[in-house]
Amino acid sequence: MPTTHPHAALAQADPPSKLHSLCPATGELVWEGERDSPRAVAVRVAAAREAFADWGRTPLSDRLAVVRAYGALLADRAAALARTIARETGKPLWEARQEVQSMTGKVELAIRAQAERAGVRDEATGFGHARLRHRPHGVMAVLGPYNFPGHVSNGHILPALLAGNAVVFKPSEETPATGALMAELWYEAGLPRDVLAVVQGGRDTGMALVDADIDGLLFTGSPSTGRALQRALVDRPHVILALELGGNNPLIAWDGDAAAAASIVVRSAFATTGQRCSCARRLIVPEGRFGDQLIDAVRVLAGRLRIGQWDEEPEPAMGPLISAAAARAAHHAVDLLQAAGARAIAPMAPVAGRADAFVTPGLYEVTGCMVSDQEIFAPVLQVTRVADFDAAIQAANATAFGLAAGLVSADAALWDRFLSRSRAGVVNWNRPTTGASGAMPFGGLGLSGNHRPSGYYAADYCAFPVASFEESVPIDQSSEIRGLAPLRD
């Protein structure tokens, strides 16, 4: 399991009554508010249930108007939202701006996905016509992560509301300000407040929401919490559950220009300070000259990554981890790696003169070591050397996870072999493992999820299909009844 994860809040101890959000780079207060009690959560869910009755019957054209108004506000308030995300997560401002752009772009993608995957379809039949419709589930609970507090949560909330559901949204307790600001934009766009309710807090609040009268639970976070949610819902099969649970993602770098390959590796491993579910965690290279050259090129390029506060100039490549606690957990995970025999090529270390949440990118040789199959949610990359390409594929698949995987090679035949044998939901060729698109599904196998991918396919779990066979007037069916005795005089 990961050392810390976007929804570690569900596994933490009972909290105090006040919730505070602090910038991990500076320690300054970003947001303060009350934590919602289990009773308050139940009240919000009940109100959402009442609001669903009207929202679910609202014409799609009216829902589309609200969704598009929200998209326009996202574009208009992009600077303020990006600044809030950057301060609260510590990610560089340029990256927070990219996150808001993804949120804005998601609006039309969600509309397109709803029409394509959850719309209406008619087919003429001999008796009339068959019609496929989709209906909303009811009240959907969304548990948001901290690494992309806007984009990932937005990817659940948008299709859920578009389908006609009401939503109760609990942001990560690390990023409550972003969640609160998103909700205010929805209200300004014309969405009734009880159709999207926000509850703030940590474990108690999250579990109260899971235990409430909900019809769906959409979660991004750790495998351990995902399993706990499955157990909590084992006797409630009517509650749809969509899980995205991270990955111990492999990247095979096999041939080509070492500098070009290294750039793909660095982008894969150290984007968002290693706090992406799709980051490469394991680098697999061939024994010999190319492997040596590539590892050295990765070490040099990673060493050039500027590390700094979200608003510094020149702009940093990496910010801090989400908190000092996350950094301590990452250091502990590295200690366990080294205890298992890992050798530091470039050690992950604190950054002199910076807050405790800052760390440098780490590169570790683990060839021949018995390291555990865990996701270290930090800028830590483990290197394994193998003798041939079959061994590379075997090493890539030697994980219980299955979210992302990648191959760096100019050989199309190797790509075909890798693609056909890879066990992952996102498999990239000569592109970073972090490369994804809102126009494509996003999800994985094994410990990475429960076969309900998000992204473009989020429309699938936000509505259920209804098949109807229809004729405009009743028609005598007697001739179709087999074995019918004739009328007697």
3-state secondary structure 445-480: EECCECCCCEECCHHHHCEEEEEEEECCCCCCCHHH
Sheet holding 404-408, edge to edge: 343-346, 362-365, 380-386, 280-286, 249-253, 404-408, 426-429
Using CA atoms, how far apart are residues 278 and 449, in angstroms rounded to an integer? 13
Tell whether 357 and 465 lie within a shared domain: no
What angle is formed at CA 342 by the lines to CA 336 and CA 347, rounded to 5 degrees?
Answer: 85
Q: Is residue 311 in some structural domain?
A: yes
pLDDT value of position 435: 86
In this structure, is residue 330 part of a structural domain?
yes
* Beta-carbon contacts of residue 36 (< 8 Å; ≥ 6 apart): 44, 199, 200, 201, 205, 208
The DSSP output letter for 129 is E
Within this chain, do residues 295 and 388 fall inside the same structural domain, yes or no? Answer: yes
Residue 442 lies in a domain: no
pLDDT of 412 reads 98
pLDDT attached to residue 16:
59
DSSP character at residue 285: E
The answer to whether residue 441 is domain-embedded is no
Record the tokens describing residue 393, joined without a space: 């594929």
pLDDT of residue 123: 92
Residues 96 and 221 in one domain: yes
- Asked if residue 385 and residue 307 are part of one domain, the reply reads yes
* Residues 187 and 297 occupy one common structural domain: no
The encoded tokens of residue 334 equal 């590295």
CA-closest candidate to residue 239, choices 259, 212, 258: 212
For the chain, state the CA radius of gyration: 25
Look at residue 83 in the predicted model and tell me its pLDDT.
98
Instruction: Looking at the structure, tell me whether residues 30 and 167 fall in a common domain.
Output: yes
Residues 350, 207 share a domain: no
pLDDT at 436: 86
C-beta of residue 298 within 8 angstroms of C-beta of residue 363: yes
Q: Contact 322/5 with Cβ under 8 angstroms?
A: no
Note whether 305 and 348 are within 8 A (CB). Answer: no
Task: Please report, for the domain that includes residue 376, its CATH number.
Answer: 3.40.309.10
Q: What is the pLDDT of residue 6?
A: 52
Residues 106 and 216 in one domain: yes
**424 and 319 together in one domain:** yes
CA distance 3 to 326: 7
Tell me the pLDDT of the chain (489 aa) as tens digits: 344 455 444 444 445 589 999 999 999 999 999 999 999 999 999 999 999 999 999 999 999 999 999 999 999 999 999 999 999 999 999 999 999 999 999 999 999 999 999 999 999 988 889 999 999 999 999 999 999 999 999 999 999 999 999 999 999 999 999 999 999 999 999 999 999 999 999 999 999 999 999 999 999 998 899 999 999 999 999 999 999 999 999 999 999 999 999 999 999 999 999 999 999 999 999 999 999 999 999 999 999 999 999 999 999 999 999 999 999 999 999 999 999 999 999 999 999 999 999 999 999 999 999 999 999 999 999 999 999 999 999 999 999 999 999 999 999 999 999 999 999 999 999 999 998 899 999 999 999 999 999 999 999 999 999 999 988 899 899 988 999 998 887
| Residues spanned by the domain of 459 | 8-245+449-469
CATH of the domain at 207: 3.40.605.10
- Residue 327: phi, psi to the nearest 5? -65, -40
Tally of residues, the chain: 489
Query: Is 236 in the same domain as 256?
Result: no
- Residue 434 placed within a domain: no
Residues 279 and 381 in one domain: yes
SS3 category, 393: helix
DSSP state of 13: P
3-state helix, strand, coil in the chain (%, to 5): 40, 20, 40
- The 8-class DSSP code of residue 484 comes to P
Q: How many CA atoms lie within 13 A of 93 on its CB side?
A: 11
What contacts 190, CB < 8 A, 6 or more positions away? 65, 66, 69
The answer to whether residue 270 sits within a structural domain is yes
Closest by CA to 356, choosing from 331, 337, 381, is 331
Residue 35 makes CB contacts below 8 A (sequence gap 6+) with 15, 16, 17, 18, 19, 200, 201, 202, 204, 205
- Asked, for residue 482, whether it belongs to a domain, the answer is no
Q: Which two tokens stand for residue 98?
A: 């990219």
The pLDDT value given to residue 13: 44
- Residues belonging to the active site: 244, 277
Assigned domain for 117 exists: yes
Our count of domains for the chain comes to 2
Cα–Cα distance, 74 to 189 (Å, whole number): 10
- The whole-number pLDDT of residue 8 equals 46
Mark whether 260 and 373 lie in a shared domain: yes
